[in-house]
Amino acid sequence: MSQQNNWPLWEVFVRSSRGLSHVHAGSLHAPDAQMAVRNARDLYTRRNEGVSLWVVKSSDIISSDPDEKDSFFESPQGKDYRHATYYKASEGVKHL
């Protein structure tokens, strides 16, 4: 019964204040990019939540494959020598 909407889905990213990264806030529908950024303003910054907005067409986002999760994110596991906490011998030395 319904007329198809066909307005694409957009993901919205909000920078809450200068110095912080844009953070994913949610999504919305809009006919085009210009309207999407305006709808994002109306929907996601009604309470001073942001100083800057990004909108990205959801279909343009490439994400890592969750099925590869284990292999994809395995490599950094166990490489604790990448973290300062690994180095115990220098503990207690000032400004190091």
Partner 1 sequence: MAPSAPQEPGLSAVPSYEEEQSQARFDALIDRDARVEPRDWMPEPYRKTLTRQVSQHAHSEIIGMQPEANWITRAPSLKRKSILMAKVQDEAGHGLYLYSAAETLGTSRDELNDQLLTGRAKYSSIFNYPARSWADMGAIGWLVDGAAIANQVPLCRASYGPYGRAMVRICKEESFHQRQGFEILLALSRGTEAQKKMAQDAINRFYEPSLMMFGPPDDQSPNSQQSMAWNIKRFSNDELRQRFVGMIAEQVKVLGMTLPDPELHYDEVKKQWIHKDLNWDEFMNVIKGNGPANSQRLERRREAHREGAWVREAATAYAAKQAQSEVA
Partner 2 sequence: MKHEELDAALDSFGDALASATRVTPGNALRPEDIAVDGVAPSDEVAQYALTLGDDSLILAQRLAHWISRAPELEEDVALGNIALDILGHARSFLTYAGLAWDKSEDDLAYWREEEEFTSLWIVEQPNGHFGVTIMRQLIVSIFQHLLYQKLVSSADETLAAIAAKAVKEVDYHRDHAIQWTIRLGQGTEESAEKMRHALDILWPYVDEMFRDEAVHQRLEGIAVLPSTLRDAWQEEITAVLTDAGLQIPSTGQAMVYGRRGEHSEHLGYVLAEMQVLARKHPGASW
Contacting positions for partner 2 (CB under 8 A) = 5, 7, 14, 16-17, 20, 23-25, 28-31, 34-35, 38-39, 42-44, 46-49
**Of 31 and 87, which has the nearer Cβ to partner 2?**
31
| End-to-end CA, the chain | 69
**Of 43 and 56, which has the nearer Cβ to partner 2?**
43
Cα–Cα distance between 74 and 68 in angstroms, integer?
10
Could you tell me the smallest distance in angstroms from the CB atom of residue 85 to partner 1? 23
Residues binding partner 1 (CB under 8 A): 1-7, 9, 11, 24-29, 31-32, 35, 43, 46-47, 58-59, 61, 63, 65-67
**Of 62 and 89, which has the nearer Cβ to partner 1?**
62
| Two tokens, residue 76 | 């950094």
Count of residues making up the chain: 96
Give the torsion sign (CA, 33, 34, 37, 43). Answer: negative
Q: Which residues contact 62 (CB under 8 A, 6 or more apart)?
A: none
